[in-house]
Amino acid sequence: MTIKVLIVDDSAVMREVMQQMLAPYADIEVIGAAFDPLLAMQRMQQQWPDVLVLDIEMPRMDGLTFLRQIMASRPTPVVICSSLTSQGAAMTQQALAAGAVEVIGKPSVGLRDFLHGSGKQFVASIRAAAKARLAPTLTKAAPDVASLAVPARHALPVPSSERLVLMGASTGGTQALEYVLRQLPASAAPVLIVQHMPEGFTGSFAERLNGLAAIEVREAQHGDSLRSGLALIAPGGRHMLLKHDAGRYWVEIKDGPLVSRHRPSVDMLFRSAALLGGRNVLAVLMTGMGNDGARGLLALHEAGASTVAQDEHSCVVFGMPKEAIKLGAADQVLGLDEIAAQLLAWA
C-alpha cells in the first residue's frame, strides 16, 4: 500500500528537498506540497493524505492551529517539522500534546545538508506515522497534580539498594509518558527515560512534563545523581547510561554512534543497567517503531529485572514492544493504565 504524503511548509527549499528525499521510495507518494495550511486544506479536500508533514511557524495560519483543526475534524497522522529554536521546541511540545506522532528538527542554516543527512530518519518517521493508532484507549484520567504532595526536590541521592524505573519510547511516547508520569506521587522511585526526539527538543519536553507531574522532570546532565521524586530524560542526540559508585546511582551522558539506529538509544540505557544487575529495576518498553530497546529489555530480564512491554491496544505504533515480546524479554504485557498501576506499586 502506498503512503500518500502532503507537505505543508512555507519554505520553498524545504518543500523541494523533502519531495526529493521521498521520491526514490516506491511505498511513498507525495501528493502535494503547500505554502500554508489554507492552501493545504484546499488540496486535502480533493485528496486526503495518509500522512501530513507540517511546519509550525507559517503565514496566515500557524501549524499548531491547523493541527488542532485537523484532529478535531478528521484525525490524521502528522509529522511535525520544526525549527531548532526555543520557540519552535516549545510549540512542538504543544503539537505533540495535540496529537502529532513524530517530530523532525530543522536548522536555520545548512538545510539541504541536514535533510539529506537525515533522509533515512525522515522516511522512517513517515512510515511510522502511517502505521500510527491515533486514539489509544486511556480508561483512567491522570490525577490532579495540585492534590499531590510537593516534590522532594532536595532529597538525598538514591542508595544502591533502592528501586529504579527505566522507560523507553519512540513514536507516540510523548503522550504515553505524560499519561503515566502524571500518576506518580512526589515520593516515587527515580525514573530514567529515553524518548526518541531530536537534539534541542528534549529540554522543552522535560519542562512541559515538569509542569504537569508531581515529580520533578528535567533533561539529564552528565553526573546527575538519582533520587526519589526525580525523572531524568536523555538529551536528544546523546546517549544516557546508568552508573554506580560510592553507594550512589548517577547518569553518564555521552556522544557516540547510533545504536539500534538511534541516539539516544533505549538499548544503551537498558544494557548499562543490566551490567549493574537488574533486581532493583523495573523496565518498561513503550510505543514506537523499530526494535530499539528490545535486546536491552532482554538483557535486563536475564539480569533479574522486572520487565514490561506496552500492549498493542494502547500503543500508537506497536513496534518496539512487539520485538521485545518476540524475544521473550517481557515478564508482563500491559496497557497504559496497568503500566501506571505497576509503577505506583513499584514506587
Residues identified as active-site: 170, 196, 292
C-alpha cell belonging to residue 242: 546508568
Could you tell me where the beta strands, DSSP code E, fall in the chain? Answer: 3-8, 28-34, 51-55, 78-83, 102-106, 164-169, 191-195, 216-219, 230-233, 239-245, 248-254, 281-285, 306-310, 332-334
C-alpha cell belonging to residue 41: 486544506
Looking at this protein, which amino acid is placed at residue 315? C
CA distance 307 to 205: 25
> Which run of H or of E encompasses 225?
none
CA distance 230 to 164: 11
Whether the Cβ atoms of residue 288 and residue 320 lie closer than 8 Å to each other: yes
Q: In what order do the strands lie in the sheet with 28-34?
A: 28-34, 3-8, 51-55, 78-83, 102-106
> Which run of H or of E encompasses 143?
none
CA distance 50 to 40: 14
119 alpha carbon, distance to own chain's centre? 19
